[in-house]
Chain A
């Protein structure tokens, strides 16, 4: 498996800012070129040369990598990191400003599902049109036609214009055509963001099959679970450069740890400047896996602790510190306080440490922030420390059984589940539209 599929050497791509969305009119172009020539003459007369620095930015800068045949490479990074630009270069939709790309095989790219679908044409007609656009030969489409139709589950609507399709049907058909494209190198951009759960699973299965059949796949996604589950190797792009490259699991956790501004531990050595007031001062706070290993990634399955220490400055105060955990959407996931009775007891002056144990299989993936609320037994608020900790909970690819769509819900418990069969024969069902 050491044959090369793609070699990218020092590739850079420069865009002029604003060029993409504004179309200069002819008049502007004429005026500008007139201005430029005047400036050019002025430069000549003043003996200066060289270009004025233009308003440009590098979407990619000196990117080099190789992909071996049969490899499934995940490309991750934030929006604007250069992922889509890279895919466009590899698909030959646009050219690099500098550098060289060598491709050892027929490339099929799927930057969008349903490219070139025409709403007025029927499902059947669109299969042929879309297939041709994606680079299939007519004979090839003929051969795979039935398979495509079966995959999309649209048999009855084959001769209906696709403008009458539901959005689900439309996407199923579009993906079905794309999924039967069999290039040696497949380039896929975030197609998993569409369709319902069952269909996504099917699509992932198809991609998996493509990879297993020895073809090369380049896969861009924001879905870390999918990247981890499908890709053997991952590449992290950041501001147009390769930040890291290696085994998918390793790169994904590096990316997650470093790309969110997280505060998983903090402490205040000087009590005078620590958050708090004359009754209460924070000393430290941390979130860590129960195993205590700092290197262990915090996933949806990891039990972890939220620990914090604080000074009680009032002798005999009835003081408790509660935790509020908020998710990215600002939803309060839970509020927790001490549970061991007596819950309220007078505390002597001094430094205390509380540990709150959060079980695994509770939180969904995402970024969470911890708010600490010091309260007293009369229900009055002593102090609120906002966003003391900010941490990310990662998704994992296990338990997903090949489906990599977004897992909904504020929490993600793993619940007891039973199934039994009650009857084997089924009454007849009248199908209705």
Chain B
């Protein structure tokens, strides 16, 4: 590159900073010109393609800012603000305690029913909220998708992470409840992050499928509330999984949230059965769903801007 790259425009006030930037830019140009291999190549993609997770890593700052945006905006212009994060699981717990715990005399593995159900509601709400958010994320962010390039996976991924804020807030309430009922967690408490991660993975696994389908078929946005509603009853939240007959237990564990919720109760409250093969089944199902979802998502990614 010739030295004339450092020419001041007459229209812009000359500034030292400007000069520096231009020199820096000239350096970048030198560097890329020296390489002589294209920085990127765009061709029609065919068949199976790699997941390009390295590319995702390059865009981690964007991921951070999208999460940050949604967190910032979440409770803007609300009276109760972040209290909403607590109110939802808490009220659900109250209702469940009255109807299932008191009136329905539901067994709760020897634990006080309110804390039994609240401990399950936390990962559940994280899962259900993240699933809904990521499932709708591409459509909600269509303005971005059609105007700027970045790995599309950033969008459902950021939607999943946003749920962690609400989760953390309502987790504080759980600690209060545990103190109230005099429950001291065992060493197993260190496993909590693992089960949180599993809940997020499960939400992302289903979320990317739904997000990709939603681009093409808007039916998905109406399906999501139904899906989470049914799923709630397939997950041991209002009842213990010990209620499910032994011979059905493996099939039951195909629902990844069974492993998450049982694991959560075990890690925090200690008195239920420790993770066993059913947890492994949940883990396996989540992995398969996630991998399949990522592949499907990548295949859809190329046409998303044309279709969404």
User: Which residues of A are in contact with B by a Cβ distance under 8 Å?
Assistant: 1, 3, 7, 15, 19-20, 23-27, 29, 69-70, 88-107, 109, 111-112, 115-116, 118, 120-121, 125, 128-129, 132-135, 137-138, 147, 182, 184, 201-202, 204-206, 208-209, 212-215, 402
24 A/B residue pairs, CB under 8 Å, sorted by A: A15-B306, A23-B218, A88-B305, A93-B148, A95-B43, A95-B303, A100-B42, A102-B41, A105-B28, A106-B39, A116-B148, A120-B73, A133-B150, A134-B148, A135-B62, A182-B21, A182-B25, A184-B28, A201-B11, A209-B8, A209-B9, A212-B7, A213-B25, A214-B25
Known: A112-B147, A115-B144, A132-B62. A24 touches B216 (CB 8 A): yes
Minimum distance in angstroms from A138 CB to a CB of chain B: 6
Verify B22–A213 contact, CB threshold 8 A.
yes
Cα distance, A116 to B150, chains bound together (Å):
13
Minimum distance in angstroms from B306 CB to a CB of chain A: 5
B94 lies within 8 A of chain A by Cβ: no
Verify A101–B148 contact, CB threshold 8 A.
no
Verify B148–A109 contact, CB threshold 8 A.
yes
Contacts of B2 in A (CB 8 A): 1
Minimum distance in angstroms from A145 CB to a CB of chain B: 12
Verify B149–A91 contact, CB threshold 8 A.
yes
Cα distance, A118 to B29, chains bound together (Å):
33
Cα distance, A129 to B76, chains bound together (Å):
17
Task: With CB as the reference atom, state the residue of chain B lying closest to A116.
Answer: B144
Verify B43–A99 contact, CB threshold 8 A.
yes
Cα distance, A70 to B8, chains bound together (Å):
15
Verify B217–A102 contact, CB threshold 8 A.
no
Task: With CB as the reference atom, state the residue of chain B lying closest to A151.
Answer: B12
Contacts of A204 in B (CB 8 A): 11
Minimum distance in angstroms from B162 CB to a CB of chain A: 14
Minimum distance in angstroms from A326 CB to a CB of chain B: 37
Cα distance, A387 to B224, chains bound together (Å):
61
Minimum distance in angstroms from B248 CB to a CB of chain A: 30
Known: A95-B302, A104-B32, A104-B33. A125 touches B144 (CB 8 A): no
Cα distance, A90 to B39, chains bound together (Å):
13
Minimum distance in angstroms from A381 CB to a CB of chain B: 53
Cα distance, A290 to B35, chains bound together (Å):
54
**Contact among B35, B40, B148 for A133, CB-based, below 8 A:** B148
Verify B217–A23 contact, CB threshold 8 A.
yes
**Contact among B12, B32, B143, B149 for A109, CB-based, below 8 A:** B149
Contacts of A19 in B (CB 8 A): 306-307
Cα distance, A50 to B146, chains bound together (Å):
33
Cα distance, A202 to B4, chains bound together (Å):
22
B77 lies within 8 A of chain A by Cβ: yes
**Contact among A100, A112, A120 for B77, CB-based, below 8 A:** A120
Given A70-B5, A184-B32, A213-B5; 16 other pairs, CB 8 A cutoff:
A3-B1, A7-B38, A23-B216, A24-B217, A93-B305, A94-B303, A94-B306, A98-B44, A100-B43, A106-B39, A109-B147, A118-B73, A138-B65, A204-B11, A208-B9, A214-B5
Task: With CB as the reference atom, state the residue of chain B lying closest to A91.
Answer: B149
Identify the interface centre among B28, B62, B77: most chain A CB within 10 Å of its CB.
B62
Minimum distance in angstroms from B221 CB to a CB of chain A: 10
Cα distance, A20 to B39, chains bound together (Å):
30
Cα distance, A427 to B150, chains bound together (Å):
53
Minimum distance in angstroms from B23 CB to a CB of chain A: 9
Contacts of A214 in B (CB 8 A): 1, 4-5, 22, 25-26, 29
Verify B25–A103 contact, CB threshold 8 A.
no
**Contact among A70, A93, A116, A132 for B149, CB-based, below 8 A:** A93
Verify A115–B12 contact, CB threshold 8 A.
no
Verify B29–A105 contact, CB threshold 8 A.
yes
**Contact among B32, B44, B149 for A105, CB-based, below 8 A:** B32
